Structure 1
Amino acid sequence: MTHNSPPLKVPNLEKRTREHLLPNEVEAMIKAASRVGRHGLRDGTLILLAYRHGLRVSELVTLRWEQVDFSSGTIYINRLKHGLSSTHPLRARELRWLRQLKREYPNSPYLFVSERGTPMAAATAFNIIRRWYSGWLGDKCASAYVTSCLWVLSRI
């Protein structure tokens, strides 16, 4: 009798050499996303904030305008999964794009909304990121947190 064992899982290192994007790759992804389609600004801003602040998809889709302080140039991030919530500084491009986004969707309390004006579903945000991310590292979406940490370390 032959025993069929399940196939061995191929280690990620054998599939690809890394599971994060380099800063220049993220920048190219943000620029590309922001220039394509009728929701380019929304999609580019979503990717930009995920990258710059190391946000989980669930943290992105729950962002509300009341968390953005345009006068001080900050955003309050409610961290999930036992993370430490805190206020983050926003850079000029983030502020500019957020102001434009607010003008495009003035009636929503949420930063990121669907075509119907309802809060964006986490699956939709994930698919937006995966759509642009897959061009660099395939279908596996790496953690925005890891990529963000690498960006911070590259600035030290």
Structure 2
Amino acid sequence: MDLLSLFMEYLQVERGLSTNTLESYRRDLTAFSGFLRNRKPPVALEEAQRHDIINYLVTLRSTGRASATLLRNLASLRSFYHFLLKEERIHADPTVNIDSPKMEKRLPKVLSIDEVERLLQAPDGSTVAGIRDKAMLELLYATGLRVSELISIRLSDVNLSTGFLKCMGKGSKERIVPIGEIAQRALLDYLQHARGTLLRGHNSDALFLNHLGRPMSRQGFWKILKKYAHQVQILKDITPHTLRHSFATHLLERGADLRAVQEMLGHADISTTQIYTHVTRGRLREVYSSAHPRA
């Protein structure tokens, strides 16, 4: 078994990482391996030196990759070479003493309340697909779920009578999230009038299904979101995470407690949630400038 496969097996079996995280590691390490193969002379993964890793990070930066991408790649390489050192496949860790790239603080893009309203009203409620899409969009904005969490919801995770759902977040951490009344109604409409048709005779515990009766995929939902954003002429570069950002920002703008928002978003560290306070402060400055006579 090659070293990359050995490492992936370790991550899956011993560390129990999610499929998405495993794919992220595999993608980062495969890209680095390709970079090493194109060196003159080519370099094997286990032969990489500190300067090879630095050159790789410089190359990523020169192609316009964000600091977050560089940090993730370096973290993948550190984990990989730490594993090889522990397994005595190498004698020294080439990632030691490599400084982490500084993160630029970029504020998340959010939709205005008007844009959210237009987006949520876009699906055609007279069609099965439209009823499903409406439920997915309403639920995403009502809960601030990550798209991976949204498409992983099972029927048994939803309790409409209490207005809560259970979801599995990063690191396999389970949390309970409230569902607003409008999202509850959209979800009930979907369960009563659309999901049975989408099943097409299949058995599935997945809450949201595609037109083949299979669980909705990340790519499938991304296309749905893009379609409606284009339909209602939202010109911003919108992603499923944009609705998560909008959820948090709109809550804080209306006085929600930061700790409560942290819990609903499933952030392990409140500093991650605090970025939204910068967004709301920016909004406060706009209101002040437009409303105060001496602004």
User: What's the TM-score once normalised by structure 1's chain length?
Assistant: 0.77
* Equivalent in the alignment of 2:140: 50
Offset, 1:34: 4.7
Whole-angstrom distance in 2 between the partners of 1:97 and 1:116: 21
Does the C-alpha gap of structure 1 residues 149 and 38 become closer, same or farther in structure 2, counting only changes over 3 Å?
Answer: same
Cα displacement string for residues 82-137 of structure 1 (whole angstroms, at most 9, x for unaligned residues): 48531112222222221221122245422210112111111001111122234313
Which runs of 5 or more residues in structure 1 are unaligned?
A: 1-5, 10-17
Root mean square deviation, CA, Å = 2.7
- Residue of structure 1 aligned with 2:184, choices 95, 112, 134: 95
* Equivalent in the alignment of 1:152: 251
Offset, 1:38: 3.9
Does the C-alpha gap of structure 1 residues 51 and 151 become closer, same or farther in structure 2, counting only changes over 3 Å?
Answer: same
Identity of aligned residues (%): 25
* Equivalent in the alignment of 2:234: 136
Does the C-alpha gap of structure 1 residues 47 and 8 become closer, same or farther in structure 2, counting only changes over 3 Å?
Answer: same
Does the C-alpha gap of structure 1 residues 99 and 146 become closer, same or farther in structure 2, counting only changes over 3 Å?
Answer: same
Which runs of 5 or more residues in structure 2 are unaligned?
A: 1-61, 66-107, 197-202, 256-295
Whole-angstrom distance in 2 between the partners of 1:7 and 1:115: 38
Between 1 and 2, higher relative CO (CA 8 Å, sep ≥ 6) is seen in: 1
Letter in 2 for 1:28: R
Does the C-alpha gap of structure 1 residues 38 and 70 become closer, same or farther in structure 2, counting only changes over 3 Å?
Answer: closer
* Equivalent in the alignment of 1:25: 115
Whole-angstrom distance in 1 between the partners of 2:118 and 2:175: 28
* Equivalent in the alignment of 2:207: 111
Q: Which of the two has higher C-alpha Rg?
A: 2
Letter in 2 for 1:136: I
Q: Is the 8 A contact 1:67 1:77 kept in 2?
A: yes
